[in-house]
A and B are shown apart, each in its own frame.
Chain A
Amino acid sequence: MSRRKIFKVIIILAIVGIVSAVSIGVYLFNKPHRDVEAASIEFRVSNTDLVTQYLTNPEKANQKYLDDSGNSSILAVTGKVHSISRDMNNQAVVLLKDEEQKAGVSCTFTLQTSEQTEKLQVGQSITVKGVIRAGAGYDEDLGLYEDVILEKCSIL
């Protein structure tokens, strides 16, 4: 191989390297959000069981469900509809909670899935899929029980 040919090969390899590094960079920078609605369910649990896990041992429950990068567990939670409302972004919020429960599971739907909640009735039993964001517990400063938070929800 002539010196010139070797030089040519090196240049080509360098260009290929730079182009792929830049495209990986651009891809990572623009990496889409995880599609929670389409992703597979990691845990199936009842509303009461999930809340009890948090009220008895919040550290253990956080260890089990939360993720370091914020891509926490995708759950399918079954429970009774306690209330239906809208948040400040006009997303539907369904609270799954039994009457005697101290805390429930607050499920926020997306702008796309919110219409699934339109026909829901209070007291109806449903299964909601979503990503867990925080657990339930009593907060002394608030003076009330906080609900488990589930977001990007859809009805199964």
Chain B
Amino acid sequence: MKKVFYILIPAIVMTMVSFKAINGRLISRSGHISFYSHTPLEDITAHNYKVVSTIDPGSGSIAFSVPMQSFEFEKALMQEHYNGKDFLNTKAFPKAKFEGTIQNIDDVRFAEDGVYEASVKGNLTIKDITKPINEKGTITVKGNTVNIRTKFNVVLADYGITFRKGKPSTNIGKEIEVTVDADHLPE
């Protein structure tokens, strides 16, 4: 009988521990988002390493918060234009947000290492304008780190960012490629 307990108790403890890991929220406080704009005249890239995001492995809900002034450009003038009132107006709208759900969350096994294709549906808010987006991403589980990686396009005009004249209208792409890369750890 005693022997059974010796086996049973560790087994119960192990199960509880692994369940805790599965049910607990996963958090990233230094995710990387970059964007890339291409025109025949100029290629523009900017990087942001201060993205905060959470994954709820139970419900599949995910959320991203992006501090807009943290995007760093190669050229100072570009960065000033980007932040300015005519473009992203980052003083009035300091953060962009995404909240959504991983549609196939049941396919993702958070307790073991693996790579999963995830389909994400949600709402992206830039400059207080919210649009639905539906994209694919890759979830990589390695130890207790859960990485989310995705690449998608954002049409600037959808968020009220339009240029009719001047350099920005010719040198900034109408569609921007956004790349997301974030490592999440248990809370």
Against B, the Cβ 8 Å flags (1 = close, 0 = not) of A9-32 are 000000000000000000011111
Q: Indicate whether A149 sits within 8 Å of B67 (C-beta atoms), given known contacts A68-B83, A133-B50.
A: yes
Against B, the Cβ 8 Å flags (1 = close, 0 = not) of A61-79 are 0100011111110000000
Interface locus among B3-11, B70-78, B104-112, B134-142: B70-78
B50: chain A residues within 8 A (beta carbon): 87, 106, 108, 133-134, 149, 151
A interface bracket (residues with beta carbon within 8 Å of B): 35 or more
Interface locus among A40-48, A114-122, A138-146: A138-146
CB <8 Å contact, B94 and A66:
yes
- In the assembled complex, the Cα of A91 lies from the Cα of B32 at a distance in Å of 12
Instruction: Give the B interface residue count (CB, 8 A).
Output: 36
Q: Indicate whether A142 sits within 8 Å of B183 (C-beta atoms), given known contacts A33-B79, A68-B85, A134-B67.
A: no
- In the assembled complex, the Cα of A29 lies from the Cα of B90 at a distance in Å of 21
CB <8 Å contact, B84 and A68:
yes
CB <8 Å contact, B75 and A91:
no
CB distance from B36 to the nearest CB of A (A): 16
Against A, the Cβ 8 Å flags (1 = close, 0 = not) of B72-107 are 000111011011110001110011010100000000
CB <8 Å contact, B91 and A62:
yes
Asked if B27 is an interface residue, CB under 8 A from chain A, the answer is yes
| Cross-interface CB contact of A69 among B80, B95, B183, cutoff 8 Å | B80
CB <8 Å contact, A70 and B82:
yes
B80: chain A residues within 8 A (beta carbon): 69-71
A151 to chain B: closest residue by CB: B70
Q: Indicate whether A141 sits within 8 Å of B94 (C-beta atoms), given known contacts A34-B76, A108-B49.
A: no
CB <8 Å contact, B65 and A139:
yes
- In the assembled complex, the Cα of A88 lies from the Cα of B184 at a distance in Å of 12
Chain A residues engaging chain B, CB cutoff 8 angstroms: 28-34, 62, 66-72, 85, 87-89, 91, 93, 106, 108, 133-135, 139, 141-144, 146-147, 149, 151
